[in-house]
């Protein structure tokens, strides 16, 4: 059992205070391939048009605060997604309709909040450019 001093200094399970106070980041953006394997989305040239996309965060996220995700095709047309939390650190995105074949897309995570109330820090990993498979 953890002592009161340990909990006060390090929090639950030995988490360092600076880790608890750090802004969350997008740890990765992936899609589920035909075998349901998680595959990096960035620069992928063969993403299925009906692929589920997952966004993994570095910290536990506040699921009651909306996550802002923008996705556009190469003609700058917005793409609609249904969003749902798969776990406290993973958000799933499913296209509202199939994506177009052989089209390049840009996906950006621009806002989210962790359970401590910290907004995400926008880093390179918060964006992904990808292309869908040919028909």
Instruction: Give CA–CA dist 53/2, Å, rounded.
Output: 39
> Residue 106: which of 134, 74, 132 has the closest Cα?
74
Percentage of residues in the chain having pLDDT higher than 90: 79
Report the top-level CATH class of 24-131. mainly beta
Mean pLDDT, rounded, of the chain: 89
Helix (H, G, I), strand (E, B) or coil at 89: coil
* Token reading at 22: 């750090």
* Token reading at 30: 């992936």
Q: Which of 14-28, 49-63, 120-134 comes out lowest in average pLDDT?
A: 14-28
Q: Which of 20-34, 73-87, 106-120 comes out lowest in average pLDDT?
A: 20-34
| pLDDT higher than 90, residue 34 | no
């Amino acid at each position: 059992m953890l002592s009161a001093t340990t909990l006060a200094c390090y929090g639950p399970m030995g988490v360092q205070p600076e880790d608890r106070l750090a802004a969350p980041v997008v740890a990765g953006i992936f899609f589920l391939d035909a075998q349901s394997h998680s595959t990096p989305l960035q620069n992928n040239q063969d993403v299925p048009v009906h692929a589920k996309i997952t966004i993994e965060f570095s910290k536990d996220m506040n699921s009651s605060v909306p996550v802002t995700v923008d996705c556009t095709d190469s003609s700058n047309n917005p793409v609609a997604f249904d969003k749902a939390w798969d776990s406290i650190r993973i958000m799933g995105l499913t296209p509202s309709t199939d994506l177009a074949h052989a089209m390049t897309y840009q996906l950006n995570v621009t806002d989210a909040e962790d359970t401590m109330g910290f907004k995400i820090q926008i880093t390179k990993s918060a964006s992904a450019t990808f292309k869908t498979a040919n028909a």
